[in-house]
Amino acid sequence: MPKFSANLGFLWPDRPLLARIDAAAAAGFKAIELHWPYDVPPADLRAAYKRHGLEILGINTPIDAAKGEFGLAAVPGRQQDFREGFSRAATYAHAIGARSIHVMAGDVPPERRAEGTEQFLDNLAWAAEQAPDLTLLLEPLNKHDRPGYFYSTSGEGAAITAAAGVPNLKLMFDAYHVGRTEGHVVERLEQHWGVIGHVQIAAVPSRTEPDDSEVDYRAFFTALDRLGYSGWVGCEYKPRGDTDEGLKWTSALGVRL
Ligand SMILES: O=C(O)C(=O)[C@@H](O)CO
Ligand SMILES: [Mg+2]
């Protein structure tokens, strides 16, 4: 059975980030991953997870939610803004001791896709040079949740990863996004195995706890074991109610945190 990390972008939404870290440790998680922790001073964040002996995995490049933006790496004309945001992410990741950054592509209209692809590749090469010690993750987001996003399928993510030709660039395989629009999740996992750097899960289609899902997560975890996955599986779901109560999905699926 793989190891599971708590995605504190979604879990324990009823409390501030530092309290989520305490909750994750109390629930038995040994690793955490974050979305946008930038409002919390890095020293406080580091002290909070170190106190519990947790591992810290990754963060996302900053977004401007007020402007409806979801990343900038592939957005034509926003190269300078992307680079400033990436530098902020790398500085923060180094300060807290995180090991990866999800480089968010952003929304790109179909007629500007070629331009977006060129810019994305250029930005990825630049970012990889800025932070050679960090893993950069690429994550296609399904079209139901984010219709205008630059990419939506695991195949597109793998193609960009290959085209960038950068050693520290990997695919984030979020089984929720893959299951939501592509299906055949184990087949996709096997297909892209060589470029996968991190895995995330949630029920399909509800994005809640993974015990009531169109994706057969028992089979998915077995496939990860068979493939020899030694990384973490990020629990990136939106709890149906109380997060601790919802963790009974672990025993339902034979998982021990
Ligand atoms: O939405 C997801 O899936 C993520 O992993 C986030 O990092 C970006 O929204
Ligand atoms: Mg995800």
Instruction: Assign 3-class secondary structure to 140-195.
Output: CCCCCCCCCECCCCHHHHHHHHHHHCCCCEEEEEEHHHHHHHCCCHHHHHHHCHHH
Mean pLDDT of 142-170: 97
Q: What 3-state class would DSSP assign to 65?
A: helix
CA of 115 to the centre of ligand 2 (A): 25
pLDDT tens for each residue of 169-189: 999 999 999 999 999 999 999
Torsion sign (Cα): 240, 8, 104, 133: negative
CB under 8 Å to 187, separation ≥6 — which residues? none
Closest CA to 35 of 70, 3, 2, 66: 70
Q: Which of 200, 201, 208, 235 to mutate to test the pocket of ligand 1 (most atoms within 8 A of CB)?
A: 200
Cα 65 to Cα 122: distance, rounded to the nearest angstrom = 24
Strand partners, 235: 6, 201
Closest CA to 101 of 147, 129, 62, 69: 62
Catalytic residue among 33, 129, 187, 236: 236
Q: What 3-state class would DSSP assign to 232?
A: strand
Residue nearest to atom 2 of ligand 1 (CA): 141
Q: Which two tokens stand for residue 239?
A: 């709890």
Contact between residue 226 and residue 232 where contact means Cβ atoms under 8 Å apart: no
Match domain 3-252 to its CATH number in 3.20.20.150, 3.90.1150.10, 3.30.1360.120, 3.30.390.10: 3.20.20.150
pLDDT tens for each residue of 73-106: 999 999 999 999 999 999 999 999 999 999 999 9
Which residue reads 């004309």 in tokens? 77
Q: Does 187 qualify as catalytic in the annotation?
A: no
Q: Does 190 qualify as catalytic in the annotation?
A: no
Mean pLDDT of 208-214: 97
34 band by pLDDT with thresholds 50, 70 and 90:
very high
Give pLDDT, residue 97.
98
CA of 174 to the centre of ligand 2 (A): 5
Instruction: Please give the share of the chain, as a percent, with pLDDT higher than 90.
Output: 100
CA of 136 to the centre of ligand 1 (A): 14
Give pLDDT, residue 39.
98
Ligand 1 site residues (CB inside 6 A) read 35, 60, 102, 139, 141, 174, 177, 200, 236
